[in-house]
Amino acid sequence: MVVQRDIVAISIPFSAGVASAAVLSPGGDALFWTAAGSCLAAAGLLFLACRREVRTPVFLALFWVLGVFCHCSSALAFPLPREAWQPAERALSGLLRAIDGAEFPHENTAALLKALLAGRREGLDRDTVAVFRATGASHILALSGLHLGILYGMLHVLLRWMGRSRFAMAARSVIQVGLAAGYVVMTGASPSLVRAFLFILFNELSRLLPGRRRRPLNIFCAALTVQLAVTPGVVSSLGFQLSYLAMLGIVLVFPRMDAWFPEGRFNPVRRVWSAIALTVSCQLFTAPLVWLRFGGVPKYFLLTNLGALPLTEGFIWCSLAVLAAGGHCPEGIKKLADTLGQLLLQFLETVASIP
């Protein structure tokens, strides 16, 4: 039986190898010999894989061993020197200064914006953090693929003026990917942000390749494989696990649930249904892990996401307009951003107070 060498067939055994090495990996000298042994095993399996007829077990074993090797070898690597991160730290400091300089009417609006755009939650009081946690909105407060997705969507809208020629599409993709990469590095490159960036990268690449059909499952597996190959140790991160589980729900379940509502012209009910389908799809895959780690799931997660996500997106849109305009920002836009931020906090407090 000849194995079809697609990204799905590669990603599954490779990810399994990384995950098993994370659980069973030894330390000290044994780690070195494990990496060396897995490298030799991969070489032998690769020799077998180069033969004309490749059987399924050999092909799967090859990428499983490569996953083990990537995890073990990453533990032996040296971290980047601090100097390499200084440009990103300066950019982040500039963003924080711009938020402070915006002078929003309510003091906690700036603290909320710092948490949503820069991942800095020091300015939020304990009660606010507790409200986000109690309502199941912690994923909004922590930097994740949600935030990068909002910024990516904004760029997509703002760059439409460039047109639809092949050159314009390529230039637009370069700008979007470049700015997304800069944002990920500036904010610390959390596992969920890296996942979102890889999705953007592979989505733009597939968009530019003529005759190629964009398959969400292929993009999912490609991002998973690349992220684990570069940073295998991230497989133990809860943020990494929740991020990919949520995306797996979106890839496998959301299109089917969304199709239950008939297509048509703009229909507010249709948009509400899409939001419900998206939330349920994510929760179906993440709820078991959340239950295992925290002993339960929030009761009103559906209500929380239906109200909080639009408010979050609107708040980020208006706040970025305020930051871009600097000292020349119209007072009306600043007040609108401040109002949306306060509405988000009040909405979550209301949900948290429901018995």
More reliable by pLDDT, 355 or 66: 355
Interatomic CA distance for residues 239 and 249, integer angstroms:
15
Predicted local confidence at residue 2, as pLDDT: 39
**Nearest-CA neighbor of 154 among 313, 326, 335, 332?**
313
Which of 78, 98, 130 is the last residue in one of the domains? 78
Interatomic CA distance for residues 183 and 88, integer angstroms:
9
- Over the stretch 211-255, which tens digit does the pLDDT of each residue have? 666 788 888 888 888 788 777 778 888 888 888 999 999 999 998
Dihedral Cα 237, 241, 345, 99, nearest 10 deg: 60
Quick check: is 135 in a domain?
Answer: no
Quick check: is 203 in a domain?
Answer: yes
Interatomic CA distance for residues 262 and 129, integer angstroms:
39
Quick check: is 147 in a domain?
Answer: yes
Quick check: is 197 in a domain?
Answer: yes
**Are 70 and 146 contained in the same domain?**
no
Domain count, the chain: 2
Confidence of residue 7 (pLDDT cuts 50, 70, 90): low
Interatomic CA distance for residues 318 and 305, integer angstroms:
20
Which of 211, 229, 247 is the last residue in one of the domains? 229
Interatomic CA distance for residues 276 and 248, integer angstroms:
16
Confidence of residue 343 (pLDDT cuts 50, 70, 90): very high
User: Could you count the other beta carbons within 10 Å of the beta carbon of residue 352?
Assistant: 19
Question: Which amino acid appears at position 62 of this protein?
Answer: L
Quick check: is 45 in a domain?
Answer: yes
**Claim: this prediction has a pTM higher than 0.85:** no
Question: Which amino acid appears at position 257 of this protein?
Answer: M
Residue-number span of the structural domain to which 12 is assigned: 7-78
**Count of alpha carbons within 13 angstroms of residue 130, beta-carbon side:** 5
First to last CA, the chain: 59
More reliable by pLDDT, 297 or 172: 172
Residue 36 has pLDDT above 80, yes or no: no
Residue 28 has pLDDT above 60, yes or no: no
Predicted local confidence at residue 3, as pLDDT: 38
Would you call 297 helix, strand, or coil by DSSP? coil
For the chain, what percent of residues have pLDDT higher than 70? 75
**Nearest-CA neighbor of 254 among 298, 291, 295, 285?**
285
Quick check: is 242 in a domain?
Answer: no
User: Could you count the other beta carbons within 10 Å of the beta carbon of residue 190?
Assistant: 21
Quick check: is 277 in a domain?
Answer: no
Quick check: is 53 in a domain?
Answer: yes
Neighbouring residues of 278: CB distance < 8 A, sequence distance ≥ 6: 250, 254, 258
Which of 57, 78, 99 is the last residue in one of the domains? 78
Predicted local confidence at residue 77, as pLDDT: 47
> Which tokens in the block code for residue 282?
């994510």
